[in-house]
Amino acid sequence: MWYDYRFRAYPDRTGVTAEVERHIDIHRQAYNHTRYEYNVLDTCEDNIGSAYQHQKRLTEWKDEWPVFSEVHSKALQKTVGRFYDNLSNLSEKKQNGHKVGWLKWKSPSEYQSMTYSQSGFELKNTSGRTATIWLSKIGDIPIRYHRSIPDNADIKEVTLKKETTGEWYVTFGLEVKDATLPEKPDVDDVNVEDCVGLDLGIQNYIYTSDGGSVDWLDLSDEYDRLRREQRSLSRKEHGSNNWEKQRREVAKIKHRIKRKVEDFQHKLTTWLVKERDAVFVEDLNVSGMLQQRGNARNKQDAAWRGFIEMLEYKGDLYGTHVVQVDPVGTTKECAECGVETEKPLWVREHSCPSCGFKADRDANASYNILSRGLQELGLGQAESTPVETATAVETDGGRSSSVPASRVVETGSLGA
């Protein structure tokens, strides 16, 4: 299993910022030269066409341009591989029906990271809140070590990146052997009552099949400020010192929004996998949803694909089954009898004309996701029907109360 840990880095504290930026620019030139050779050289005769083949040309590069010898060899190989990874991602999008262009030449402002793979790095001085990452041919860089690397994880890659805000971050690519992970409960031992279906909604961030819900994260103040700062940026001369200063202000707000969303998602997903034997969620086509008209910003803020990916890797970390199910028809289909009923988006209640079952629209969808997840996992149906489940969670004439997103952020757990 592979996942990442990210830390704030401070190359300025050891005076290596200029050297780091010089190394990144050399890697940028290597990336652009890889792109150039891929376009003009013969695949069969000149050892290009794959990352492995193209990396064989690095010896020739170093003889002709000694500057490439000034960066770590494994990091240089990773840069060549980065081009082919981007090329593969582009081809995959094209196969999925998306209109794609071509990989562009990278300017200095567009290329702001480098990756050390397998060797050339060492994590040191990890006893306190500050640690040090040593990078070959660069030196020591202090990092804010706010959490320890797990004992069962091996550091396989180190990526140093300068964000658009001007801040530096280091990301450790961690590999954990499956044998050291907690075992997921055997399917026969899974308690159906400890399984939950999640509907990723519009009125609520998630709606659970046990009647709970979590509200959207309130980012209205951040977006109001972002609009003000963007208006100020648009009035400044492009490329001037004032424009660059204002551009960083805009970047900082965007970065703050992104961090708030990720923090919210991390806490929510951790709570879900720690409390359940199995979590079932829709396999959403997020990119397709964002191309639809209406509510696009909220869909993007939700970052549902990232939320689902977090659920999956945390399911592995905590020994919980996480299963994606087909989302088609989960809203239309009656969770009690299976009859499909068309309803526009503004209709927030499910009322089945066949069996009379009534429920909140998102609640009905979460029941269907639970049923499909149980079938996918091989457990069949839940013992209690959706009607019984809905009745069981009603209190004082209403459904169980919605949890505000602020509580998730503050406590890190819905149960706290």
Q: How many helices (H) and strands (E) does the chain have?
A: 12, 14
Q: Note the pLDDT tens digit of each residue in 216-261.
A: 888 889 999 999 999 999 999 998 999 999 999 999 999 999 989 8
Domain boundary among 176, 202, 225: 176
Same domain, 242 and 377: yes
Q: Would you state the pLDDT for residue 332? A: 82
Question: With 50 as the cut, is the pLDDT of residue 396 above it?
Answer: no
What distance in Å separates the CA atoms of residue 363 and residue 341, rounded to the nearest whole number? Answer: 15
CA nearest to 262, candidates 208, 301, 318, 222: 301
Same domain, 211 and 162: no
Same domain, 36 and 164: yes
Give, in degrees to the nearest 5, the angle at Cα 378 between 375 and 380.
50
Same domain, 294 and 195: yes
CA distances to 6, 120, 247, 262 from 266, rounded to whole Å, are 13, 30, 28, 6
Domain boundary among 176, 207, 222: 176
Q: Would you state the pLDDT for residue 292? A: 52
Q: How far apart are the first and last CA of the chain?
A: 30
Same domain, 193 and 123: no
Give the CATH number for residue 237.
3.30.420
Is 34 a member of any domain? yes
Number of domains in the chain: 2
Q: Which pLDDT band, with edges at 50, 70 and 90, does 19 fall under?
A: very high
Same domain, 315 and 275: yes
Question: With 90 as the cut, is the pLDDT of residue 130 above it?
Answer: yes
The better pLDDT of the pair 341, 29 is held by 29
Give, in degrees to the nearest 5, the angle at Cα 412 between 287 and 286.
5
Q: What is the mean pLDDT of residues 186-192?
A: 83
Domain boundary among 127, 152, 176: 176
Question: With 50 as the cut, is the pLDDT of residue 57 above it?
Answer: yes
* Dihedral sign for Cα atoms in the order 321, 322, 328, 334: positive
Which range in 136-150, 256-270, 321-335 is most confidently predicted, on average pLDDT? 136-150
Q: Would you state the pLDDT for residue 392? A: 47
Same domain, 170 and 192: no
Domain residues for the domain of 374 are 187-383+400-407
